[in-house]
Chains A and B, each alone.
Chain A
């Protein structure tokens, strides 16, 4: 004959164990995600690559060249 009381006790203990593990896993998981984000920010994961920097420099040079050409045209219109 199966011991119903023992089975219920075991099941209750198993449930408590699961509750404890879940209680640990959730807050700890949240903390770890937060810490990983801090580390990503501080170690340069979100920082720009060489290619991005080069593209920004190229855009800057193009904008300066455009402004220079525009000003030269305006001056030429007024002096010729």
Chain B
């Protein structure tokens, strides 16, 4: 009797575990709300990094490591990137509003393009900067921003339905 119950118990456990793994494989993946929320969180970190980069440029000018003209050039590059960030926010909102429709997929494609522009434009911040030490600092900041953009791209690419 006891042996029979143990066998039944083992069979039930195996069956339940199989059911769970099938359910997990069928239902896995994040929903659009989660993807948008994660992307927006990374975007917030990105905006803070851009602001910090601007501050580093301004401080460098104060320390006479960069001319006023060059700091304005670098700040303008950052401003253009930030304006693209505003566009990214609009596309994120569209993805959230239109989830499950073709408009959502279209917005995801446009967001991808905006992110690619931001990433390609980013290293132009370095062009006006000649001081090696300052350049190294800005490279670190810009690389961090670029990494964040990469994470956003991976979060968005191919996941919006």
Q: For chain B, what secondary structure do more than half of its interface residues adopt (helix, strand, loop), or is it mixed? A: helix
CB distance from B13 to the nearest CB of A (A): 5
Residues on the B chain within 8 Å of A55, using CB: 37
Interface of A (DSSP majority class): helix
The CA of A64 and the CA of B82, in the complex, are separated in Å by: 6
Q: Is the CB of B37 within 8 A of A48?
A: yes
Chain A residues lying within 8 Å of B13, measured Cβ to Cβ, are 27-28, 31
A59 and chain B: residue at smallest CB distance? B44
Within 8 A of A (CB), among B16-48: 16-17, 19-21, 23-25, 27-28, 30-34, 36-38, 40-41, 43-44, 47-48
Interface residues on A, range: 35 or more
* CB-CB under 8 A for A24 and B5, given A66-B47, A75-B72: yes
Tell me if A56 and B41 are in contact (CB < 8 A).
yes
Residues of A within 8 A of B38 (CB): 56
Give the contacting residue for B54; candidates A31, A43, A50, A71; CB below 8 A. A71
Taken residue by residue from 49 to 73, chain A's Cβ proximity to chain B (1 for < 8 Å, 0 otherwise) reads as 1101111110111011111101110
Q: List 7 A-B contacts (CB under 8 A).
A: A27-B13, A41-B24, A47-B34, A60-B92, A61-B86, A72-B79, A74-B58
